[in-house]
Amino acid sequence: MGGAAGEAMRAGVVAVFLAVAVSGAAAGALPRFAEAPEYRNGEGCPAAAAGVCDPGLVHIAMTLDAHYLRGSMAAVYSLLKHASCPESIFFHFLALEAGAAAGEEPDPELLRRAVAASFPSLRFEIYPFCAEAVAGLISASVRAALEAPLNYARNHLADLLPRCVPRAIYLDSDVLAADDVRRLWETRLPAAAVVAAPEYCHANFSRYFTPAFWPDPGLGARVFAGRRRPPCYFNTGVMVIDLRRWRAGNYRQRIERWMEIQKEKRIYELGSLPPFLLVFAGEVEAVDHRWNQHGLGGDNVHGSCRPLHDGPVSLMHWSGKGKPWDRLDAGRPCPLDHTWKSYDLYIPSDGAASPASGPALAASLFSCCCHRRYELAAAHGGLCTGW
């Protein structure tokens, strides 16, 4: 698998982009995190990259706020652990600039110190993101968290990332990798595709829009006519994006046009997802479902427990209202939340270190996750069962 075994599965370097905001309560003092284990490259890994424009880099983008910093740390840890060349990973952090959201100006230096303390060998940089660029376009959603400006930062990736970056993998911060992310990076994007993602064509696509959308003569099925395939739902928490094609096609402007129409007609309820569906559904290049075992956070209202879907697992995604760190802190974790906790670097105020500081459980768990279906139950002590 990754650097833990000291084996290089393929040559290459991974660069991960995170967007980080700190709200008023967290702007002065970030939570404390333990230092993660350090993983080394195996044989066959490339020499150190010359910089962000190095053609061997794999770029990953993520967005989060102060509440998601804990999730981000766990996600980064899992990406490092399962990367074939973990020492070649490069992180770029995007921080909300002054006046963003409803809190004080975030201090990028505090974020830098927090990341460097947990990952001393990590190469990364921090860049600002202007919340005002999207604030006037955001509509009320079914859940307040879906209205956060950084949920829309992915629309601006092609503008924010250096022009030399050809593509990026976008990942939500409530994910855990169980496989080498380079395999996802190697997804082929044919000339007609800008985005690749797991599609879920069994889902009821019509429910992602309001009843007023479908009978409207200028909207409805007419929007999706002439596309490569019938439109299907895809989760925007895991996407491979060709940034050069995105720029050439002005896709940020296309998404923002639908956000403007939403202000006029109220055609959807789910935050930043529907504009992506309106622009890309039917044009997405399909990716194996193993790369987004999503929905582990339950629905957008109750956040109830959900099991994994059938099939292999390369990435788990706690999309939905329920986040593993919140449920663990509340003493009401779902069975799979114990998997996430194996990567939790958070140090509570009482000073007790997370089990992630000694990740023997994670090593044994994920040795089988990439290839076999499993369910994790607390009663089994975190072992893989059910294959």
Q: What is the pLDDT of residue 359?
A: 44
pLDDT at residue 351 in the model:
65
- Choose among 161, 175, 178, 172: nearest CA to 57: 161
- More confident position, 130 or 126: 130
Q: Is the pLDDT of residue 371 over 50?
A: no
Q: Count the Cβ atoms, other than its own, within 10 Å of residue 270.
A: 16
Provide the pLDDT confidence category of residue 260 given band limits of 50, 70 and 90.
Answer: very high
Look at 10-24, 54-68, 226-240, 247-261 and tell me which has the smallest mean pLDDT.
10-24
pLDDT at 368: 38
pLDDT at 11 over 90: no
pLDDT digits (tens, 9 = 90+) for 275-332: 999 999 999 999 999 999 999 999 877 778 999 988 999 999 999 999 999 999 999 9
Q: What is the DSSP string of 109-125?
A: HHHHHHHHHH-TT-EEE
Contact 386, 374 (CB under 8 A): yes
Distances (CA, A) of 266 to 210, 258, 261, 270, 366: 7, 10, 8, 11, 43
pLDDT, residue 106, reads 57
Residue with tokens 């329920």: 322
pLDDT above 70 as % of the chain: 81
Residue 184's pLDDT is 95
pLDDT band at 67 (very low <50, low <70, confident <90, very high): confident
| pLDDT band at residue 232 using 50, 70 and 90 as cut-offs | very high
Mean pLDDT over 81-102 rounds to 76
Collapsing DSSP states into helix, strand and coil, what is residue 347?
strand
In the predicted structure, residue 361 carries a pLDDT above the cut 90: no
Residue 242: strand pairing partners: 167
> Cβ atoms within 10 A of the Cβ of 257, count?
15
Higher pLDDT, 237 or 93: 237
**Dist. CA 377–CA 275, nearest whole Å:** 37
Nearest one of 310, 15, 4, 46 to 182, comparing CA atoms: 15
- 163-188: average pLDDT: 93
pLDDT band at residue 41, thresholds of 50, 70 and 90?
confident
CA distance 20 to 111: 8
pLDDT at 244: 97
Q: Which of 71, 83, 57 is nearest to 18 (CA)?
A: 71
Instruction: Please state, rounded to an integer, the average pLDDT across all residues of the chain.
Output: 82
Closest of 379, 346, 341, 375 to residue 361, by C-alpha: 341
Q: How far apart are CA 235 and CA 317, in angstroms?
A: 10
CB 15 within 8 A of CB 79: no
For residue 153, give the DSSP letter.
G
pLDDT score for 288? 97
Give the per-residue pLDDT at 6: 44
Q: Which amino acid is at 28?
A: G
What span, in angstroms and rounded, lies between the C-alpha atoms of 266 and 272?
A: 13
pLDDT in tens, 180-204: 998 999 999 999 999 999 999 999 9
CA distances from 4 to 169, 276, 363 (A): 23, 37, 8
Whether residue 89 is predicted with pLDDT greater than 90 in this model: the reply is: no
How many of the other CB atoms lie within 10 Å of CB of 30?
20
List CB contacts of 343: < 8 A, sequence separation 6 or more.
74, 75, 77, 78, 81, 176, 356, 359, 362
Could you state, in order of their start, the residue ranges of all structural domains in the chain? 58-342
If one counts every other C-beta atom within 10 angstroms of the C-beta of residue 230, the result is 10
Q: How far apart are the first and last CA of the chain?
A: 19
* Rg of the chain over all Cα atoms, to the nearest angstrom: 20
CATH class of 58-342: alpha beta
Which pLDDT score is estimated for 325?
A: 96
User: Residues 118-146: what's their mean pLDDT?
Assistant: 84
Number of Cβ within a 10 Å radius of residue 332: 11
Name the residue among 376, 373, 176 with its Cα closest to residue 294. Answer: 176
